[in-house]
Amino acid sequence: MKIAIIGSGVEAFSCGHRLLDINPSLNIHIFDKKAESGMYGEEPGIYSDWPIIPDKWSGNLYSQTPNKFSSAIRYSWFVKSISISLADRGVYLHLKSVVKSIRHNTVEYYGAGFSGAGKMDFDKIIDLRNMDEGALWFGGVTISKTNEKIFGIRPDNTIEIWSKKPSLGDNLVQRMEWRGENPRSALADRINAGINAAETSLSE
């Protein structure tokens, strides 16, 4: 069975991993409009429990490998890690590829990809675009203690903070913006959204 996953981010890659866990023989293609999976574009990486995904989904996280003191992970490194392991499992990643249309199980796309532009037919199409809607949150990364209520400590001892107020202070090494419901649960929610999409698509 040939399946297309359309979308960027952790939910798309979690969906791919879950599909392969259910049926390792699936032929999966992910269409990602970004030029690179992970390594740029930060989003909430706070978690309440680790591991948050099966070990085989993740590759080497290097300095972002969670420890007993951490409660957040650098989102971009996490996404890069699970996308690499997904490629190792045989999934085709069409990077910098924008889906122009979906008609009768045919995906028309343009961009880089490994074939530039064209049309591909699939047995199933899972569209995970437009999942970043919601309130605007302002984030930052600091190495100092914070008074913000929503924060997580990364394995490298930097602190990720989120607030609905844009004024997070000047002592930041990075600023971020994200749209969604709750930075505390965003990472787990997006992983579960990908898992649910995979399981639903194969049950239809």
Where do the domains of the chain lie, and which CATH numbers do they carry?
A: 2-38+76-129+184-203 (3.50.50.60)
Is-above-0.75 flag for pTM? yes
The span from the CA of 196 to the CA of 191, in Å, is 9
Judge contact between 21 and 195, C-beta under 8 A.
no
Q: So what's the pLDDT on residue 128?
A: 95
Q: Average per-residue pLDDT in the chain?
A: 93
Judge contact between 74 and 174, C-beta under 8 A.
no
Judge contact between 20 and 156, C-beta under 8 A.
no
The span from the CA of 201 to the CA of 204, in Å, is 6
The span from the CA of 85 to the CA of 138, in Å, is 30
Q: What angle do CA 67, 56, 39 make, to 5 degrees?
A: 65
- Reply yes or no: is the peptide bond before residue 155 cis, omega within 30 of 0: no
Judge contact between 145 and 160, C-beta under 8 A.
no
Q: So what's the pLDDT on residue 3?
A: 98
φ/ψ of residue 91, rounded to 5: -80, 140
Q: Is 17 helix (H, G, I), strand (E, B) or coil?
A: helix
The span from the CA of 41 to the CA of 88, in Å, is 23
Which candidate, 127, 129, 128, 131, places its Cα nearest to that of 180? 131
HSE, side-chain direction, 13 A CA sphere, residue 159:
15
Q: So what's the pLDDT on residue 41?
A: 79
Stretches in the chain below the pLDDT threshold 50? none
The span from the CA of 84 to the CA of 73, in Å, is 17
- In the block, tokens 């003191």 appear at 69
Q: In what order do the strands lie in the sheet with 124-127?
A: 92-95, 27-32, 2-6, 124-127
